[in-house]
Amino acid sequence: MTHTYNITGMTCGNCVAKAKSQLLMLGDVTDANVQLTAPQATITMQKHIPVSALQYALSKAGNYTIAEADGGMHHTEVTDEQTSWFATYKPILLIGAFITGITLLVETRSSAFSWESWMQNFMAAFFLVFSFFKLLDLKG
């Protein structure tokens, strides 16, 4: 989650550095960008941290006050879904199984199984399938 806060009481670059270091010491803060020109802090955190906890951390650095910018409506939340290994690689595994199965079926139709012929068929199918997906230009 990324939240933007207004910070008052900062007067110099040293104030910015002290405020940023105190914010980064909080456990769930992953990134903090503190600006002096527009006295704001953009804080990226793993889970929501109350403003009171941020204020307590900033009070250690100096006489600074922090408040949510735009009434607290300026934040974005990125949901990080935990997916299993199988769910992640299921499409590529299905394609690999499909290509392997089809090439084995093609090779069983010939009089004798030949690894060289099977590999040529496998590589041809691999090229055609993945070229098709490249033509689709799928995102993600």
DSSP string, 43-55: EEESS---HHHHH
Contact 65, 5 (CB under 8 A): no
Structure confidence at residue 112 (pLDDT): 86
- Give the whole-angstrom CA distance, residue 121 versus residue 104: 9
| pLDDT tens sequence for the chain (140 residues) | 888 888 888 888 888 888 888 888 887 888 888 888 888 888 888 888 888 888 888 888 888 888 887 755 545 556 667 889 998 899 899 999 999 999 999 998 888 888 999 999 999 999 999 898 888 877 75
Annotate 4-41 with DSSP letters as a single string: EEEEES--SHHHHHHHHHHHHTSTTEEEEEEETTTTEE
Residue ranges of domains in the chain, CATH in brackets: 2-76 (3.30.70.100), 85-136 (no CATH)
Q: What is the pTM of this model?
A: 0.48
pLDDT at residue number 30? 86
